[in-house]
Amino acid sequence: MKVVILGVPKKVSSGVRTHVESLKHGLNAYNVETNMISSYPEGIYRCIVSLPHKILGFINKDLAFKWRYITREIYVKKALKEAVENGSDIIINIESVDWYGTVKQYLNNKNITVVLTVHSIYSEQIRAKGYSSSSISKIKEIEIEAYRNIEKVVAVSTFIEKYIKDQSNRNDIAMISNGLILDDIPVKKIEKQQDSILKCMFIGSLLKYKGVHIALEAIRILIDNDINVYFDIIGDGPEFNNLNTIVKDLGIEDNVKFLGVIPRNQANKKMIEYDIALVPSIPYGDNGEESFSYSCGEAMAAGLVVIASSIGGLTNIIQNGVNGYLVNYGDANEIAKVIMDNLSTIKEDETLRANARSTIEHRYSSESMAKKYIELFTR
């Protein structure tokens, strides 16, 4: 068996990138040959695809989107042909529905099985990012066609599974949660003599639906209640300027730092400096929700106390009060209240942290994820 994964490269910070690395790691543990084809071309293809895309982005983001889609398909088709040429028992695992056009030609090939992993409702993400109705409609059409025609489809959360079933009328969707490379994540140890500073963090793309603005409001409430709190934001994105403005408007410049993008391996090591990881996601588009948050899983694996919105796949990972805390999305007051009501637990109690780590070890390791994929590949 040879598995060809169509995804994003290690240098790109995203949940899909983390999934690709974790899946490769898990498959390699079972001695499965893997090959990854990047959606970010190199060499001459990078010039053909990326530079015009950036220029068009300043003019019209929908034109940029269309350019990237068409030219990337040309590049990937060539790379994919070389990867599967003269092979047998090949699995092509695509990590997004927008790769569908690239793999359509292989759907009826008896030597190749195509598998789609669905991480999000892509059409709703496009909507949330402000693309035109024509771009949203195009992606919606691709979604439905891919869900109906690809032989094997994986959903990373029950929320995504239900959405695919509703769109495709299929009852054979495989629900396989994402996995983490636990060797890369050190575990926080509680010090016997704790200081009075409460250290919070967020890691991820600075997008509206990540809800960082809600976390900032919660920080203001904590300060107003004499909590000595500091909040570090790790990541970058289109909301950066807006979030900076919110920080100034709330008067919390001394308590909040924007650390920018930190490589994942360094970020994992840095996590143990913090007490709390905030995952304040909110719905996006018309009916999109966070499916599986790698930043949530990594923080739990590191033994942090995670406070997350009770939406989408986050409810699959966290048991409220057992291995973390769930709050109503968009409610800064509730985030602050949970922290104030459980301050001694957050700072001193190892039980919740140990439960969080145990949850990831037993249910969300890269090896357990890969084992389920192998079962699906060979079914």
Phi, psi (rounded to 5 degrees) for 96:
-160, 150
> Same domain for 276 and 315?
yes
Under DSSP, the state recorded for 47 is H
- Number of domains the chain is built from: 2
Structural domain span for residue 206:
182-363
The CA distance from 131 to 126, in Å, is 6
> Same domain for 122 and 215?
no
The CA distance from 136 to 127, in Å, is 6
Write out the DSSP string of 302-330.
TTPEEEEESSTTHHHHPPBTTTBEEE-TT
> Same domain for 206 and 322?
yes
> Same domain for 186 and 284?
yes
For position 196, which CATH number holds?
3.40.50.2000
Query: pTM (2 decimals)?
Result: 0.85
> Nearest to residue 211, comparing CAs of 317, 321, 289?
289
- Tens of pLDDT, residue by residue, the chain (379 residues): 899 998 765 554 577 888 888 999 999 999 999 988 876 666 656 666 677 777 887 888 788 777 777 777 777 777 788 888 777 789 999 988 888 888 888 888 888 999 999 998 888 888 887 888 888 898 899 999 999 999 999 999 888 999 999 999 999 999 999 999 998 888 887 765 566 889 999 999 898 999 999 999 999 999 999 999 999 999 998 899 999 999 999 999 999 999 998 887 888 889 999 999 999 999 887 677 877 788 899 999 999 999 999 998 899 899 999 999 999 999 999 999 999 999 888 887 789 999 999 999 999 999 999 999 999 999 8
> Same domain for 142 and 190?
no
The CA distance from 225 to 257, in Å, is 20
Contact 66, 139 (CB under 8 A): no
> Same domain for 244 and 326?
yes
Helix axes 351-363, 294-301, angle to 10 degrees: 120
